[in-house]
Amino acid sequence: METVSSIVESIKAGGAVMYVLAILSYYLYWQIISLLIYVTRIRLHEQIDTSRLESRVANEDVNSAEFRMELTLISYEDVLWQFREFIRNRLRFAGVLLVAAPLLGLLGTVLGMLDMFHGLSLRAGHQTTILVAEGVKQSLITTQTGLTIAIPAIFFIYWIRRVSNSRELELLERRVLSAESQLGQENA
């Protein structure tokens, strides 16, 4: 319970920028976690719709192995393109949120420094010291929060890219194996 109260106090001390950082953090990590779950669970080769391929072959009234292999390769390319576009778009959005976190922290720093300079301009004795201390506290808390949000997100995004690249390689391996098996059937 003490941790929750210290978090609430930090948010209050950081000012309005901390609320924006909290919302940004929620959306950023929601995006990252959902994308990480997606790329770790998906098996792209299972997305190939073989029944649709068979119906296209039947509709074309062509039973050549060459046509069948071409349709298979097109299906693999389609799944790979959709996966890449999905990952690219989601990572682009996460990247925007990632870049915004330290910038918002910097904005909080500037606002805290303005409060500090306002306190210095009052020359009201003890009240000046309190206002300067609050301005410095706001500056440090927002900067720390912005960096604390952004730094782990960088590592998660690179992890997502690495896993998505391995999923693409798995699909390409399946594509090669599929083409080899179809060529083997054609030659037999």
What tens-digit pLDDT sequence spans the chain (188 residues)?
A: 677 787 777 777 778 888 999 999 999 999 999 999 999 988 877 777 666 666 665 666 555 666 667 777 777 888 888 889 999 999 999 999 999 999 999 998 888 888 788 777 777 677 777 777 787 888 888 999 999 999 999 999 999 999 999 988 888 888 788 777 766 766 65
**With contact defined as beta carbons under 8 Å apart, do 56 and 71 qualify?**
yes
- Mention every residue, 6+ apart, whose C-beta is less than 8 A from residue 100: 24
pTM: 0.77
The position carrying tokens 């039947």 is: 58
CA distance 3 to 59: 65
CA dist., res. 58 & res. 48, Å (int): 17
φ/ψ of residue 106, rounded to 5: -65, -40
- Name residues whose C-beta falls within 8 Å of residue 154's C-beta, 6 or more positions apart in sequence: 98
